[in-house]
A and B are shown apart, each in its own frame.
Chain A
Amino acid sequence: MEIKKMLFRKELKLVTLLLTSLLIATASAAVYYSLSQKSTVTIAGVDVWFKAGSDNNTGGVVVLLNPQKTVATVTGLKAYPNATQTYENTTMVHNNGGSTYSVRLRHVSMTYNSTQFAYIAFTLTTTAGSRTLNYTSDGSSWTTPSAPTTVVDLDPGEDAPVKIETKARDDAAAYGQATIEIAVDIVQ
C-alpha cells in the first residue's frame, strides 16, 4: 500500500512536470518563431518622382515640388463654363530606376465649395498607354472615382505627362473652387 502511494506520488509529480515542461517549451518555441518572423525593412531610395511639366509658369499655372519630389502641388488651374480647358503637361512622372514600374492613379480626397463643374479629369500617359481618373459633377453633387485605375508600365528613364482637363457647367458662377488630391501608386 505504501509503495503504491509512493508510486502514485512520483507519477503525479512527473506528469505535472511534463505538462509544465510542454507548456514552457511550446511557448518558448512560439516566441522564437515570432522572433524569426520579424523582418528588417530598409529605407530605399526613391526611383519614381515628379517633375514640373511644360505648363508650369504659363497661364498662371504653378507647380510646386517638395525636396524629395514625391509631392507635386499644382495651383492656378482654371475651368471655364461650357468649354473644355486642357493642360497637356502640368507635371510629369519620371522613372529614374533601372527597371520598368507599373503605376496607376488613385483618388485620395476632394474638398470643394462649388458643384458647378462638369468634370475634372487627370490622364497619365506613358509609352505603354494612358489611364484616366475622372471627377464628374451633375450640378448638385460630385462623383469621385471609386477605384484606382488599372496599372500602366513606366519604362526606365521615361517622363510620363499628367494631362488635366477641366470644364465648368454653362451656368457656373465664378470663384467656385475644388481641391483634389490624387496619388500615383507604384505597384510592385
Chain B
Amino acid sequence: MADLAILPEFFSLLSVDIFLLLSLLTCLLEERFPKAVPYIYQIAALIGFGHLLVSREFLAVFGEYMRFWYSFFYLLVALGNIIAINLYLALERKMWALAKAWSGAVTFPLTVISLFFVSNYSYIQSVEFPILILQLGLVVSTVVMGVGISIFLSPDLLNKFRRRKEVNQWK
C-alpha cells in the first residue's frame, strides 16, 4: 500500500506544472499583464525544480513530515498565484468575462485537483492538518458564501461597487 502512495514531492511537481501553465497563459494574454510576469513564473517553476533536487539529495536527512510541509507550502504559493491573477483580472483590470473564464478554466479545476491529491495523500499517510487551517478554511468559506448570498439577493450591489470605484478614479 505504501509503495502505491504518492510522495510528498508530488505537490512540488504539481506546483511546477502550475507555474509553467501560468507562464504560458500570461504570455498568451500579455497585453493584460506586465511584460515580466511570464518570466517570473518560469523562474518560480525553476525554483520548484531546485526544490525537487534538494529533496532528492537530502531524502534521508529530511523526514517525510518536513518534506510534505515544504512541498505543500509551495503548492499553496502556486494556488495563491492563480487566485491572485483571477482577482487581478476581475478587480484591477475589470475584465469580468475573462475573470469568469479564468476561474472556470484555471482556478476551479486546479484547486479541485490539488485538493483531491492533498486529501488523498493525507488519508493514506495519515497527515494531521493543524486545526488553524480548518478554522481559516471555515472563515474563508463563510466570507465567500456571505458575499455570494449578498450578490444573489441584491444584484445591484455589484454595480454600486463598480460605480463607486469609477467615481473614485475620476476624483
Binding site for B on A (CB under 8 A): 10, 13-14, 17-18, 20-21, 24-25, 27-29, 31-32, 34-36, 38
- Residues 36 to 78 of chain B near chain A (Cβ within 8 Å): 38, 42, 45-46, 48-49, 52-53, 55-56, 59
Tell me if B48 and A28 are in contact (CB < 8 A).
yes
Minimum Cβ distance to chain A for residue B31 (Å): 9
Q: How long is the Cα–Cα vector from A84 to B38 in the complex, in angstroms?
A: 85
Chain A residues near B87 (CB-CB < 8 A): none
Secondary structure call for the A interface:
helix
Secondary structure call for the B interface:
helix
**Per-position 1/0 for B1-32, Cβ under 8 A of A:** 00000010110110011001001100110100
Cβ-defined partner of B17 (8 Å) among A20, A25, A38: A25
Ordered by A's residue number, 18 sampled pairs between the chains whose C-beta atoms are within 8 Å are: A10-B30, A14-B27, A17-B23, A17-B42, A21-B20, A24-B16, A25-B17, A27-B49, A28-B13, A28-B16, A28-B48, A28-B52, A31-B56, A35-B55, A35-B56, A35-B59, A36-B7, A38-B59
Tell me if B42 and A20 are in contact (CB < 8 A).
yes
- Nearest A-chain residue to B23, judged by Cβ: A17
Q: How long is the Cα–Cα vector from A24 to B27 in the complex, in angstroms?
A: 17
Binding site for A on B (CB under 8 A): 7, 9-10, 12-13, 16-17, 20, 23-24, 27-28, 30, 38, 42, 45-46, 48-49, 52-53, 55-56, 59
Minimum Cβ distance to chain B for residue A3 (Å): 13
Chain B residues near A28 (CB-CB < 8 A): 12-13, 16-17, 45, 48-49, 52
- Nearest A-chain residue to B52, judged by Cβ: A31
Tell me if B13 and A29 are in contact (CB < 8 A).
yes
Tell me if A21 and B45 are in contact (CB < 8 A).
yes
Minimum Cβ distance to chain A for residue B94 (Å): 23
Minimum Cβ distance to chain B for residue A18 (Å): 6
- Nearest A-chain residue to B38, judged by Cβ: A17
Known: A10-B27, A25-B45, A32-B10. 18 other contacts (CB 8 A): A13-B30, A13-B38, A17-B27, A17-B38, A21-B20, A21-B23, A21-B42, A24-B16, A24-B20, A24-B45, A24-B49, A28-B17, A28-B52, A31-B52, A32-B52, A35-B7, A35-B52, A38-B59
6 nearest A-B residue pairs (beta carbon): A21-B20, A31-B52, A28-B16, A32-B13, A28-B49, A24-B45
Chain B residues near A31 (CB-CB < 8 A): 49, 52-53, 56
Q: How long is the Cα–Cα vector from A13 to B30 in the complex, in angstroms?
A: 10
Minimum Cβ distance to chain B for residue A100 (Å): 27
Cβ-defined partner of B16 (8 Å) among A10, A14, A25, A35: A25
- Nearest A-chain residue to B35, judged by Cβ: A13
